[in-house]
């Protein structure tokens, strides 16, 4: 198929990527769960509208909390998401699945018995919980009681929804900072965990009503380096790959993963904070080695993206600005563009999402590749 002519963005379109306030992103299910590093939904919305049509297939191979998949659903596109983080996969499933709870189901979950008729069992669970030292015991017992009720009384989509509602309040019950498990203050006082959870369930149920049911959103059980889709089955890829010095989502979600008894398969994790063992090198050389592995992993992912993308399809990547790591400057956009060329992905356009209110400084790059 012949390569389409270059499609340039005019200034009015670029202004969509101004600094966007949080209040402008709080629609549909986007803030059903507060995911760190979540990119603004206006970006995938714009790209999906510009480069696909109704009922096309959109893929995000680094889907995080599912922002791209939510926007695809709202715009009546089918979608696939991939992420190595089990919390990301669970959240994405919930944010893209319209469910309803019967009155009996809702009443059961909002009337959990606070008297702990299974006190001894919950106490034992508290003792076994890996991060119990970060919690007031009463708060932790209530969280574990809710978890027990969810697993015993619900299945499938409703169970997933209730688990995400539970995960979204965990950090507010612990004595930690927002992005990790390091204690930042004395243990938090006992709070009304049951009431907070019940309110969260009711609020989030209403958010799900915005979703469409005429399209699918599926989270694939694979990773971006080996995508479990047939060749040329995707119309558009919209993604924000891991940044060179990205947030460490494995550490950020340690408590949540412990609560769900989940683990990350770190060999499939792409990021410069991947541990390099057995080299005998100093910290600087280990960091540079990790960066070399990062680009190798990203090239494997780009190869897979090209394989599943249809001819003349578009792949758009939202990437970080240039970074200097261990006195070495990395031009991330340039590095990824060169690797994309090897797999018939030609850069068609590049523009910026401005990072300041005055729209004067360069922030993230939005790279638009066309498969030829």
Contact 73, 79 (CB under 8 A): yes
pLDDT digits 0-9 by tens, 352-363: 766 554 444 456
**CATH 3.40.309.10 is the classification of domain 11-98+216-249+264-371:** no
Question: Of the candidates 42, 33, 120, which has an alpha carbon nearest to the alpha carbon of residue 353?
Answer: 42
Q: How many CA within 13 A on the CB side of residue 345?
A: 27
Q: How many helices (H) and strands (E) does the chain have?
A: 13, 9
pTM higher than 0.85, yes or no? yes
Under 8 Å CB-to-CB from 280, ≥6 apart: which residues?
A: none
Measured at the CA of 156, the angle between CA 155 and CA 159, to 5 degrees, comes to: 60
Spell out a b/e string for 46-69, using b for 16 or more CB atoms within 10 Å of the CB, else e. bbbeebbeeebbbbbbbbbbbbbb
Residues in the chain with pLDDT < 70?
Answer: 1-19, 177-187, 245-247, 271-284, 325-326, 353-363
* Cα-based torsion angle of the residue sequence 246, 247, 253, 255 in order, rounded to the nearest 10 degrees: 140
The residue extents of the domains of the chain are: 11-98+216-249+264-371, 103-210
pLDDT digits 0-9 by tens, 181-236: 555 556 678 889 999 999 999 999 999 999 999 999 999 999 999 999 999 999 99
């Amino acid at each position: 198929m012949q390569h389409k002519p270059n499609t340039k963005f005019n200034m009015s379109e670029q202004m969509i990527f101004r600094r966007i306030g949080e209040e402008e992103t709080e629609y549909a299910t986007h803030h059903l769960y507060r995911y760190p590093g979540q990119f603004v939904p206006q970006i995938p919305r714009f790209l999906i509208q510009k480069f696909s049509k109704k009922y096309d297939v959109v893929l995000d191979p680094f889907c995080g909390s599912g922002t791209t998949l939510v926007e695809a659903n709202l715009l009546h596109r089918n979608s696939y998401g991939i992420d190595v983080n089990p919390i990301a996969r669970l959240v994405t499933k919930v944010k893209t699945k319209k469910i309803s709870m019967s009155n009996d189901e809702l009443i059961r979950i909002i009337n959990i018995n606070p008297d702990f008729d299974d006190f001894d069992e919950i106490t034992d669970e508290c003792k076994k919980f890996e991060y119990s030292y970060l919690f007031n015991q009463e708060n932790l017992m209530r969280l574990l009681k809710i978890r027990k009720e969810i697993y015993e009384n619900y299945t499938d989509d409703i169970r997933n929804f209730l688990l995400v509602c539970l995960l979204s309040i965990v950090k507010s019950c612990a004595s930690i900072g927002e992005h990790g498990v390091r204690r930042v203050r004395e243990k938090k006082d006992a709070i009304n965990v049951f009431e907070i959870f019940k309110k969260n369930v009711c609020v989030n149920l209403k958010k799900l009503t915005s979703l469409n049911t005429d399209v699918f959103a599926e989270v694939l059980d694979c990773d971006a380096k080996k995508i479990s889709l047939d060749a040329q089955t995707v119309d558009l890829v919209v993604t924000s790959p891991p940044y060179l010095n990205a947030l460490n989502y494995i550490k950020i979600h340690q408590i949540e993963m412990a609560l769900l008894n989940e683990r990350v398969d770190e060999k499939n994790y792409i990021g410069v904070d991947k541990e390099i063992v057995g080299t005998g090198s100093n910290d600087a050389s280990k960091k540079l080695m990790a960066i070399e592995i990062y680009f190798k992993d990203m090239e494997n992912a780009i190869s897979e993206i090209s394989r599943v993308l249809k001819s003349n399809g578009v792949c758009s990547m939202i990437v970080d600005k240039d970074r200097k790591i261990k006195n070495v400057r990395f031009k991330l956009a340039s590095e990824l563009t060169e690797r994309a060329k090897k797999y018939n992905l030609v850069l068609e356009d590049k523009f910026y999402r401005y990072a300041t209110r005055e729209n004067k400084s360069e922030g993230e790059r939005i790279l638009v590749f066309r498969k030829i």
